[in-house]
Amino acid sequence: MWRSLPLSAGILVSLTFLTTPAAAEPPYLATCGTVRVFIAPSASVAGSVTIGTSTFALHASDHLPAASPVGLAMCINRTLTTAGPVLELIAMPSPICGEVLGLSPAIPDQRGAVIDIVTTTPGLRIALAASPNLAFTFPQRATSACFEIRIDASGTAIASMVMGAAVPAATPTAPPITTLPSTATDARSAEVVAIVGTTSAAIAFLVMRRRRRPSSARYTR
């Protein structure tokens, strides 16, 4: 059974897993594709960037390229600084390789399947659109894989082909302990010990008694 990720049609940048504590901040999933529009922010006015069909607000504190990235394949990601989290635009890796954590199935008439992948690029976790023809079976556990990427007409990065995948072997689990080793002495062993002990004591007693008995020899004049 595939592990499904609850991604909505319009929000592909954040995801709350069932294993994530309720108080924890959901992980950030980057969006990748061609930059179609870029408006640089200023200290007083917010800017924006459109990657594929998604638009993100930008601020002067975000990490952005000095030159306009329009037409380039980029990813918008979130990174942490001493002042707090900020957005950053980084070059999109190609192919995209990493650990596949799960799959959000396609939603008819809204979007296709989306792969949740922690890439080999440090700090980059992507919500990667999957081609309907992607021949890849997602197991229950995380899998290492590389995907060939193509850019569709809208500028969205899509995993079009599996270049390689490796499913880690399941770790053997030791069977549970159903009985504890007994701390009591085995009945037969106890009986043997008792017999040997009693016999040894009796022999020791007879030897001591014999040594202490006075001599019965009589002397005649």
Please tell me the predicted confidence (pLDDT) of residue 103: 83
Can you give the pLDDT of all 221 residues of the chain as single tens digits? 344 443 433 334 334 433 344 455 688 999 999 999 999 999 999 999 999 999 999 999 999 999 999 999 999 999 999 989 999 999 999 999 999 998 888 888 888 899 999 999 999 999 999 998 887 766 667 789 999 999 999 999 999 999 877 766 555 555 554 444 554 445 554 554 455 455 555 555 544 555 555 554 444 44
Please tell me the predicted confidence (pLDDT) of residue 198: 54
Q: Where do the DSSP E strands lie in the chain?
A: 31-39, 47-51, 54-58, 73-81, 84-91, 96-104, 114-119, 125-130, 143-151, 157-166
Token pair 């040594």 in the structure block, residue: 211
Write out pLDDT tens, residues 63-80: 999 999 999 999 999 999
- Look up residue 1 and give its amino acid: M
Here the tokens at position 113 are 């399947």
* Domain segments of the chain as ranges: 31-166
Q: How far is CA 26 from CA 22, 30, 59, 96, 190, in A?
A: 9, 13, 21, 22, 63
Please tell me the predicted confidence (pLDDT) of residue 43: 94
Please tell me the predicted confidence (pLDDT) of residue 27: 86
Write out pLDDT tens, residues 181-217: 554 445 554 554 455 455 555 555 544 555 555 554 4
Question: What H or E segment, with its residue span, contains residue 205?
Answer: helix 187-212
Here the tokens at position 144 are 């290492």
Q: How far is CA 93 from CA 3, 25, 49, 58, 106, in A?
A: 25, 26, 19, 22, 24
Task: Say how far apart CA 90 and CA 64 lie, in whole Å.
Answer: 8
